[in-house]
Amino acid sequence: MPFLGVAYLIHARYRHFRPRRWPTMTTLRIGEIYLLAGGTLVTELEREIMKRRMFKDRDWLTIEVMGRLFNQGALEPLQRVRQMRGVDDGWLRAAWTGYDKDASLLAKFKWWSNHAWSDPVAWNLIWFDLYLPARIRAPGVAISRRDWDIVITHFANYVQGIDGVPCMVSLATYRLFDPDRLIYACGLITPFAICARMMCPPIFYLPINLAQRVVIYTAWAVYCFRRYQHYGYTAMIKDKRKVAGLLLQLIPQLERNVDTVASWGYKDWDI
């Protein structure tokens, strides 16, 4: 982080003596650019810390490897389920995870911050493929509803998009933002913003500048939060040992996969 501060001071002083001659791509100030870079760096450092902790925690690593296996093996089932009628109905997920449409805005944001990364189809697929077999084959293993919610949602987030269907397309009813689409929107609006600042009066370029800033900050916030949420969400599982034990009981070969991943080291694991 200190080097960003030094770079900012050098950059700011340089621009003080050598102002730009060409129009800027955005209206972001130098301080804002380095603020976004610093926030991204903090997010990535926190991810690395959590990833190291995960590789030291066998149970946590087992849950993560299981998510990767779902990602690699759920393509055909996900495509098949999407072709069925009614599978996109979110009543099961909403009822099972306790989503209340009449709840406060803060409560809704807390729910969506973890569940918005996968659609009801992917969530239902994991619920039927994991939760129901667990209840049948291991009825004595008591895992809290909250831990089940985190596990199913994490695996659904892992599965989402492997068949080319972005999450935010399936959740268009809620008008959520897709990170990739935000980046495309930013790239699309930038040339128009530059031309407007060069040739148009303020009444034209100020709204475009505002739209560009909103897209940039939204894309940055969504990207950073999703990067952090991937590991931060499973870190909230209270009884990782019980969850990992159940997964190993359901899928005996999972332990061999965990051994393989553990031998790689955290530097070779990138999600």
Give me the percent of the chain exceeding a pLDDT of 90. Answer: 27
Q: Evaluate whether 37 touches 3 at the Cβ level (below 8 Å).
A: no
pTM of the model: 0.81
pLDDT digits (tens, 9 = 90+) for 27-44: 777 778 878 888 999 999
For 158, the token pair is 């892992």
Name, in order, each residue with C-beta under 8 angstroms of 81's C-beta and a sequence gap of 6 or more: 87, 121, 124, 125
pLDDT digits (tens, 9 = 90+) for 55-71: 999 999 999 999 988 88
Q: What is the mean pLDDT of residues 155-174?
A: 62
State the Cα–Cα distance between residues 89 and 68, nearest whole angstrom: 25
Rg (CA), the chain: 22
DSSP one-letter string for 154-186: HHHHHHTTTTS--HHHHTGGGTPPPHHHHHHHH
Q: What is the DSSP letter of 98?
A: T
State the Cα–Cα distance between residues 44 and 50, nearest whole angstrom: 10
State the Cα–Cα distance between residues 237 and 235, nearest whole angstrom: 6
Grade residue 17 by pLDDT with cuts at 50, 70 and 90.
low
Q: Find the farthest-apart pair of alpha carbons in the chain and give their distance in angstroms, rounded.
A: 72
What average pLDDT does the structure give for the chain?
81
What are the helix (H) ranges across the chain? 2-17, 30-56, 58-73, 75-82, 91-97, 105-115, 120-126, 132-137, 145-159, 167-170, 179-199, 202-234, 240-250, 254-264
Q: Is the pLDDT of residue 87 over 60?
A: no
Point out the least confidently predicted range of 38-52, 86-100, 131-145. 86-100
Q: Evaluate whether 192 touches 208 at the Cβ level (below 8 Å).
A: yes
